[in-house]
Chains A and B, each alone.
Chain A
Amino acid sequence: MSNDLKIVFGRRYRFAASHRLHSDQLTDEQNCRVYGKCNNPYGHGHNYVVEISVSGTVHPATGMIVNLADLDEFVQRQVIEPFDHKSLNHDVPVFRATVPTTENLCKEIYQRLKHFPLAKLERVRIEETSNNAFEYAGEEMRDRMAVR
């Protein structure tokens, strides 16, 4: 009966970083119109909250899908260290060619975490501010996002 139950473990992390929204494919005027204040030339910052959800078997010996310490260590290495107190545009290679919107940030963090060996990555949710949230669950989104 409980075999058809899915258990997901979720953990929220924080980092602070700056970014500037500017597309090389748009004129200065278009950039200004599309991105508004976010196009200001020297950038600005956010306290990002990243919520990571993983699924898998709850191991009977530990009661855990994954040991928090292992997940923390992986996320720390893959995401927090390279992003915290950095300029996303300058310090994260993918954002030299891609606009560091939080949509794209979700996808980049998903790519960095999807090979986590100890559980299956279900989704990445980022709160850019307490009023804006974005989620990405890979390209099989419809199946994976069955429940959110």
Chain B
Amino acid sequence: MVYLTRKIEFSASHLYHNPALSADENRRIFGKCNNPHGHGHNYTLEVTVAGEPDPVTGMVLDLKELKAILEREIMERMDHRFLNYEVPELKDQIPTCENIARAIWKLLEPKITQGRLHKVRLYESPDIFAECYRNGASQP
């Protein structure tokens, strides 16, 4: 099994607010992330695909294909968007790194048909990230 990873970067804004909680609770739990007009990040997304290299092409999947999938599914949806209001996959969720990573997994998994999606790692900043993968997935 070979694992290949492609990285993309996108910029987006968001805010953390749960309408089921009081203004005070929102402020206490989410702090600055609750500021009403939102704020933004430069996100870095690493997508890892696992598979056996094709005996003819030597590729797990064509990176051009992966690049096109990421452009279509992620960049067009999320880049320079307000995640709370403009990304339907995050509707009714707090757009934390954890939830965005899971939404990205769900968007990408059915689209990757050569090899299989192994892991998504999303950095909100160089020091904060979330990962999503199948329970019990094999190394690495």
A-to-B contact residues, CB < 8 Å: 2, 4-13, 53, 58, 61-65, 67-69, 145-148
Contact A7 B29 (CB under 8 A): no
CB of B98 closer than 8 Å to a CB of A:
yes
Residue ranges of B at the interface with A (Cβ–Cβ < 8 Å): 16, 18, 20-21, 29-31, 93-99, 101-102, 105-106, 118-119, 126-140
Task: For A64, give the chain B residue with the smallest CB separation.
Answer: B96
Q: Quick one: closest A residue to B106, CB to CB? A: A2
Interface-central residue, A53, A58, A61, by most chain B CB under 10 Å: A58
> Is B139 a contact partner of A58 (Cβ separation < 8 A)?
no
The majority secondary structure among interface residues of chain A is mixed
| Secondary structure dominating the interface of B | mixed
Residue in chain A with minimal CB distance to B90: A63
The distance in angstroms between the C-alpha atoms of A4 and B96, with both chains bound, is 20
In the complex with contacts A61-B20, A69-B31, A147-B140, A5-B135 CB distance below 8 A: yes
B residues in contact with A58, CB < 8 Å:
96, 98-99, 102
- Determine the distance from Cα of A146 to Cα of B140 in the docked complex, in whole angstroms: 7
CB <8 Å contact, B18 and A147 = no
> With a CB–CB cut-off of 8 A, which chain B residues contact A5?
102, 105, 132-135
Assess the B16–A63 pair: CB atoms within 8 A. yes
